[in-house]
Amino acid sequence: MIRSGAITILISLLLVAGALAQTSSSDEAVTFQINAAHTGAHNTSGLKPPLSILWSVNLGATVSYPLIAGGTIFVLTGDSSVGNISLYALDAKTGSTVWGPVIVPNDFYWWAAAAYDNGTVFVVPDTSSPFGEGAMFAYSAATGDLLWSATLADQYLYNSPPTALNGIVYTAGAGDGGTVYALSETTGTVLWTAGVANGNTSSPVVTKTGVYVSYVCPNVYDFNPNTGKPIWTYSPGCDGGGGDTPVLFKGKLYVRDAIVFEGYNGGVFNAATGALESYFNSSFAPAFSGSTGLYTETNALTAFSVTSGATTWTATPPKDDSFSSAPIIVNGVVYIGTAAGNVMGYSLAAGKQKVSIPVGAAIEAGESGNYTGPQAGLAAAEGLLVVPASDDLVALSHQ
């Protein structure tokens, strides 16, 4: 017979373990546009207007989108004036360096991107090798030590931001057609590859049941995440270079490309079947939370009902300025960067301006696979909004 006291202790231990499991994994930003579906949405305790700059650090080269986990912020830096791609871990509360810079091997260009999962930071630099191979590197989030490196074979352009989920990390390469790669998070072993029409400047969307990728035209694919077996393909019969990161929300895959969308630059696909259902316009990755979606052009941020498609509000950038990043949604507020270096915030419900903070340098976060610097973008987790602004990384918090 188990005594009541022992039962009480056991229940308490289970509750504590459950709480630790939730806090260790739920409040993180783990890839481009925060999560593996790239929805740009996250709720994190305490982050609400008014905001102020908690800290700002200059890292001496163009800064990437941040990853946030375990009280640490991970960022890449690089540009032609420096000559290296570097990985840093910064203390989330102070901005002080925990470890780094760790030099990430690269060949000629300075594009790079990273993802986080289970205590590991995965980095893909654009090695742009004429010999037809690229690489992925895995670093310990705690120490910065290199855990493994893996060859990505058969292509020579590698500028697909990685996405890691459920023990597998995914990316893509281009050159002779394209290749999607799935690697073991623990060993770097290539688990499967799949041929695609292109394979660059687009990050995979990953769920438990699908890996969704889209490239120019668009050529859109859904693969089984464990085997690489094709689930569906949308191919309009054209090809070329480039692509934009898709976004998955409530069973719909939002894909951007201007070639075959009849006057629009985006199409909405049924994620289960691959059927093209409707069209939209957005120069940056859409963001979604609740029943609201956001499309962004340089001169307008438009909120719409996911159910009906009707516009609910529109915001414009400050005078003589322009929106220059994909939006993110945090605790009911939409945050977006501008070319003049302002962080703007709007109520998700009504579009009322809540935040306007200059961060001291331009926020440039397009998705063109710019070879002169790492992929940039905003992120939020652990009570912080973190913004790359040229060579600076800026953390904002509630006043």
Q: What is the model's pLDDT at position 176? A: 87
The pLDDT score that the predictor gives to residue 130 is 54
For residue 13, what pLDDT is reported? 34
Sheet holding 41-42, edge to edge: 41-42, 328-330, 333-337, 342-347, 353-358
Output the pLDDT for position 25: 52
Distance CA(244)–CA(161), nearest Å, equals 11
133, 154 Cβ separation under 8 angstroms: yes
Each residue's pLDDT tens digit, 136-183? 999 999 999 999 999 999 998 899 999 999 999 999 999 889 999 999
Domain ranges of the chain: 30-398
- Give the tens place of pLDDT for each residue, 324-377: 999 999 999 999 999 999 999 999 999 999 999 999 999 999 886 667 889 999
Sign of the torsion angle spanned by Cα atoms 251, 65, 328, 26: positive
Identify the pLDDT of residue 131. 54
Please report the pLDDT score of residue 239 as a whole number.
Answer: 81
CA nearest neighbour of 113 among 386, 377, 397: 377
For residue 38, which phi and psi values (nearest 5 degrees)? Answer: 60, 30
Q: What is the DSSP letter of 360?
A: S
Helix (H) or strand (E) holding 247: strand 247-249
Exposed/middle/buried for 161, CB within 10 Å: 0-12, 13-18, 19+?
buried
Residue type, 107: D
CA distances from 31 to 19, 75, 270, 319, 372 (A): 24, 11, 24, 32, 20
CB-CB contact of 154 with 194 (8 Å): no
Could you say which residues of the chain have pLDDT below 70? 1-25, 128-132, 258-260, 368-370
Q: What is the pLDDT of residue 257?
A: 86
What is the CATH class of 30-398?
mainly beta
Please tell me the predicted confidence (pLDDT) of residue 128: 58
CA distance 124 to 151: 11
